[in-house]
């Protein structure tokens, strides 16, 4: 019996980055913010998709969200003289003459207290009275100025402690413009982890078109809804991986193409961030899988073309040939029958290129009782061959279905074109957001 080596199956999709979520998903949280091949599959969101803004690359995209900070507008008020409560109740202009009169009234009596007054004594009394009068006048003026200032400071402190009082911010000039809010329109949002969003906001969230830059790792350009990737977009990661396609609620969902930094390419259906449905996975060594995926692994009916020229058409289970299928060797030999975890197991027929066959029960890749026959007709394998033939026909029809799906390149091309268009729109929104920020900073510097 001839022993033939079956080409090895590259069963795992390569991945670039660990799952990271955009501080975005809320891409607004000041951190925003992931096949699950940027949040779970064989490969980047967010900021949770591949296994993004979130994902595997396994991303997380999700992009951390931060609600924009509220800005207090500057208020211009006309200058007014603060009322002077002391001046209202104590008219100093009337008090001064009275104090002077009270001071001069005892002067004659002081003079006559001396027993023998002389001109020198009289001069001393006059000088002393003048000095005392001047000192009292100066003290009274200082007192009348300090007392209203204390009253006004105490009243202002009590009003500031009141919960209903509003602080007044003074500015030079008239009619200052209010600072623009990031709740609506195009703006730039910087997050605490270094991520940056440039684009459209709605209700304080990334909404519309925009670009989310993951700090030192990659970016997302495309559509946003409620702070998450939603619609069409393009993810580009620092190591070279790129996804172009559809998203839903922050995850890859729909049709899309993922090019891995290793050179592998997956194009097909996605669900919740993972390869799911029909798709084509082409490896950098030239091997190719065409068929069904289930949550990021090969599962269902498919065809696999190995790099050495071998080809398998049949059933896959958990990334391995499992069930019924046909394996064609590059040298012309062929096996049709049952498989178990990548090995011939169960009923099967092995056909050599010269037409001879071996049929029977296979165990761990080896025929239990090898016998060669020139034809399956009239052989002890008649009944078994009929069963295997039906299963093989089903495997071939499933593989043809996978191929027909893969050949519909027009639909995939439309998805890629829509993703590129969304990315271009997001770049335009990002430029507008940066211009708005520069204009705002210029106004502040010249205000």
10 Cβ neighbours under 8 A, 6+ residues apart: 283, 285, 287
> What own/partner pairs with CB < 8 Å and gap ≥ 24 does 100-109 have?
100/133, 103/129, 103/132, 103/133, 103/136, 104/129, 104/133
Give me the sign of the Cα torsion angle 111, 113, 116, 121. negative
Q: What is the distance between the alpha carbons of residues 265 and 269, in angstroms, rounded to a whole number?
A: 13
200 Cβ neighbours under 8 A, 6+ residues apart: 185, 186, 206, 207, 208, 209, 210, 224, 429, 433
The closest of 249, 206, 223 to 66, measured between CA atoms, is 206
pTM for the model: 0.59
Torsion from C-alpha of 388, 391, 393, 397, nearest 10 degrees = -160
Q: Are strands 265-271 and 297-305 parallel, antiparallel or unpaired?
A: unpaired
Query: What Rg value do the Cα atoms of the chain yield, rounded?
Result: 44
Tens digits of pLDDT across the chain (447 residues)? 444 444 544 444 444 443 345 555 544 343 333 333 433 333 333 333 333 333 334 333 433 333 333 333 333 333 333 343 334 444 445 555 555 555 555 655 555 565 566 777 667 777 777 777 787 777 777 766 665 555 555 544 444 444 443 433 333 333 333 334 457 889 899 999 999 999 999 988 999 999 999 999 999 999 999 999 999 999 999 999 999 999 999 999 999 999 999 999 999 999 999 999 988 999 999 999 988 999 999 998 888 999 999 999 888 999 999 988 889 999 999 998 889 999 999 888 899 999 998 888 899 999 887 765 555 454 556 545 677 677 667 766 766 766 666 565 667 889 999 999 999 999 999 999 999 888 777 667 766
How many other CB atoms sit within 10 Å of the CB of residue 445?
7
The closest of 182, 177, 184 to 444, measured between CA atoms, is 177
């Amino acid at each position: 019996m001839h022993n033939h080596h079956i080409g090895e199956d590259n069963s795992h999709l390569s991945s670039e980055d660990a799952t990271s979520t955009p501080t975005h998903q809320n891409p607004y949280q000041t951190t925003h913010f992931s096949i699950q091949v940027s949040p779970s599959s064989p490969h980047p969101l967010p900021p949770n998709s591949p296994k993004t803004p979130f994902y595997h690359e396994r991303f997380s995209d999700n992009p951390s969200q931060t609600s924009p900070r509220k800005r207090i507008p500057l208020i211009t008020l006309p200058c007014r003289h603060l009322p002077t409560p002391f001046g209202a109740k104590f008219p100093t202009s009337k008090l001064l003459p009275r104090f002077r009169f009270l001071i001069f009234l005892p002067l004659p009596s002081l003079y006559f207290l001396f027993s023998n007054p002389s001109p020198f004594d009289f001069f001393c009394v006059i000088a002393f009275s003048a000095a005392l009068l001047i000192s009292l006048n100066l003290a009274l003026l200082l007192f009348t100025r300090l007392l209203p200032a204390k009253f006004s400071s105490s009243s202002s402190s009590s009003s500031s402690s009141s919960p209903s009082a509003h602080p007044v911010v003074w500015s030079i000039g008239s009619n200052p413009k209010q600072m623009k809010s990031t709740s609506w329109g195009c703006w730039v949002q910087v997050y605490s982890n270094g991520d940056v969003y440039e684009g459209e906001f709605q209700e304080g969230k990334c909404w519309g078109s925009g670009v989310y830059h993951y700090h030192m790792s990659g970016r997302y350009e495309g559509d946003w809804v409620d702070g998450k990737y939603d619609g069409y977009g393009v993810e580009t990661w620092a190591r070279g991986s790129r996804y172009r396609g559809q998203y839903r609620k922050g995850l890859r969902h729909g049709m899309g193409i993922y090019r891995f930094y290793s050179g592998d390419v997956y194009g097909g259906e996605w669900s919740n961030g993972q390869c799911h449905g029909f798709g084509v996975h082409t490896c950098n060594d030239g091997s190719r899988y065409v068929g069904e995926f289930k949550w990021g692994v090969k599962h269902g009916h498919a065809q696999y073309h190995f790099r050495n020229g071998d080809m398998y058409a049949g059933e896959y289970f958990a990334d391995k040939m499992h069930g019924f299928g046909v394996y064609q060797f590059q040298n012309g030999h062929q096996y049709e029958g049952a498989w178990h975890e990548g090995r011939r197991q169960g009923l099967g027929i092995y056909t050599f290129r010269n037409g001879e066959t071996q049929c029977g029960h296979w165990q761990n890749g080896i025929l239990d009782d090898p016998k060669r026959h020139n034809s399956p007709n009239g052989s002890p394998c008649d009944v078994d061959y009929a069963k295997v033939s039906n299963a093989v026909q089903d495997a071939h029809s499933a593989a043809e279905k996978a191929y027909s799906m893969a050949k519909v390149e027009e639909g995939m091309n439309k998805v890629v074109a829509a993703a590129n268009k969304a990315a271009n729109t997001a770049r335009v929104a990002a430029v507008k957001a940066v211009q708005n920020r520069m204009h705002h900073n210029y106004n502040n510097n010249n205000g």
